[in-house]
Amino acid sequence: MLRLTWVQPEDLLGHELHQARLDGREPSRIEARWRAAGGLDAPDRAGASPARVSRYLRLLAEDLLDELADLPSTLTEDEPTDLARIRALCPDWPKPPAGPRPAPAPLALEAAWLGRAIGCLLGKPVEKLPLDGIRALARSADNWPLSTWFTARGVPEYLLARHPWNRRSARTSLAENIDGMPEDDDLDYPLLNLLLLKRHGKAFTTTDVARLWLEELPPGRAFTAERVAFRNLLSGIEPPHTARHRNPFREWIGALIRADVHGWTNPGDPAAAAAQAYRDAVLTHTANGVYAAMFTAATLASAATGTDDVHACLRTGRGVVPPRSRLARAIDHALRLAARHRDFDDVVDELHAAYGPTHHWVHALPNTALIVAALTHADGDFTGSICRAVSGGWDTDSNGATAGSVCGLLAGSPSALPEHWRAPLKNRLATTVAGFDGTGFDTLAHLTHLEAIRP
Shared domain check, 39 and 99 = no
pLDDT tens by residue, 97-140: 988 878 889 999 999 999 999 999 999 999 999 999 999 999 99
Flag whether 390 is in a domain. Answer: yes
What domain range is 30 assigned to? Answer: 9-69
To the question of whether residue 186 is assigned a binding role by annotation, the answer is no
Shared domain check, 449 and 407 = yes
Look at residue 98 in the predicted model and tell me its pLDDT.
86
Instruction: Reply yes or no on whether the pLDDT at 32 is more than 80.
Output: yes
Instruction: Reply yes or no on whether the pLDDT at 347 is more than 60.
Output: yes
Confidence of residue 374 (pLDDT cuts 50, 70, 90): very high
Shared domain check, 111 and 26 = no
Residue where a domain terminates, one of 26, 43, 69:
69
Degrees to nearest 5, angle at CA 293 with 332 and 109: 105
Report phi then psi at 100, rounded to 5: -60, 140
Shared domain check, 112 and 25 = no
pTM, full prediction: 0.98
Q: Considering all CA atoms of the chain, what is the largest pairwise distance in Å, rounded to the nearest integer? A: 63
Q: Whole-number mean pLDDT of the chain? A: 97
Shared domain check, 441 and 412 = yes
Q: How many CB atoms lie within 10 A of CB 419?
A: 8
> Residue 252, SS3?
strand
In the beta sheet, which residues pair with residue 181? Answer: 429
What DSSP character marks residue 124? Answer: G
Q: How far is CA 445 from CA 184, 349, 439, 448, 449, in A?
A: 18, 37, 11, 5, 6
To the question of whether residue 41 is assigned a binding role by annotation, the answer is no
Select from 246, 274, 260, 239 the least CA-distant residue to 92.
274
Look at residue 106 in the predicted model and tell me its pLDDT.
96
Shared domain check, 336 and 426 = yes
pLDDT tens by residue, 72-95: 999 999 999 999 999 999 999 999
Residue type, 33: R
Flag whether 130 is in a domain. Answer: no
Degrees to nearest 5, angle at CA 30 with 26 and 32: 110
Q: How many CB atoms lie within 10 A of CB 128?
A: 20
Report phi then psi at 19, rounded to 5: -65, -40
Select from 362, 405, 425 the least CA-distant residue to 189.
405
Q: How many Cα atoms within 13 Å fall on the side-chain side of residue 239?
A: 21
Residue type, 317: G
Shared domain check, 116 and 25 = no
Instruction: Reply yes or no on whether the pLDDT at 180 is more than 70.
Output: yes
pLDDT tens by residue, 201-238: 999 999 999 999 999 999 999 999 999 999 999 999 99
Q: Is the peptide bond before 94 cis (omega within 30 degrees of 0)?
A: no
To the question of whether residue 397 is assigned a binding role by annotation, the answer is yes
Degrees to nearest 5, angle at CA 69 with 68 and 70: 90
Shared domain check, 279 and 254 = yes
Report phi then psi at 252, rounded to 5: -85, -170
Shared domain check, 105 and 13 = no
Confidence of residue 176 (pLDDT cuts 50, 70, 90): very high
pLDDT tens by residue, 437-452: 999 999 999 999 999 9
Select from 297, 268, 271 the least CA-distant residue to 193.
297
Shared domain check, 331 and 387 = yes
Report the domain count for the chain.
2
Select from 255, 193, 261, 260 the least CA-distant residue to 223.
255
Shared domain check, 302 and 227 = yes
For the chain, the residue count is 455
Confidence of residue 288 (pLDDT cuts 50, 70, 90): very high
Flag whether 309 is in a domain. Answer: yes
pLDDT tens by residue, 4-23: 899 999 999 999 999 999 99
Q: How many Cα atoms within 13 Å fall on the side-chain side of residue 126?
A: 28
Ranges 44-58, 91-105, 146-160, most confident:
146-160
Select from 104, 105, 87 the least CA-distant residue to 96.
87
Distance between CA atoms of residues 162 and 160, nearest Å? 5
Look at residue 104 in the predicted model and tell me its pLDDT.
86
Report phi then psi at 439, rounded to 5: -70, 145
Look at residue 163 in the predicted model and tell me its pLDDT.
97
Radius of gyration of the chain (CA): 21
CATH assignment of the domain containing 305: 1.10.4080.10
Distance between CA atoms of residues 264 and 270, nearest Å? 10
Over residues 132-153, the mean pLDDT reads 98
- For CA atoms 122, 126, 128, 131, give the dihedral sign: negative
Residue type, 193: N
Instruction: Reply yes or no on whether the pLDDT at 430 is more than 90.
Output: yes
Select from 15, 7, 13, 52 the least CA-distant residue to 30.
13
Flag whether 311 is in a domain. Answer: yes
Flag whether 30 is in a domain. Answer: yes
Flag whether 133 is in a domain. Answer: no
Instruction: Reply yes or no on whether the pLDDT at 1 is more than 80.
Output: no
DSSP string, 378-423: TTT-HHHHHHHHHHT-SSHHHHHHHHHHHHHHHH-SGGGS-HHHHG
Residue type, 187: L
Over residues 57-79, the mean pLDDT reads 97
> Residue 102, SS3?
coil
Flag whether 245 is in a domain. Answer: yes
Select from 302, 258, 249 the least CA-distant residue to 276.
258
Shared domain check, 440 and 353 = yes
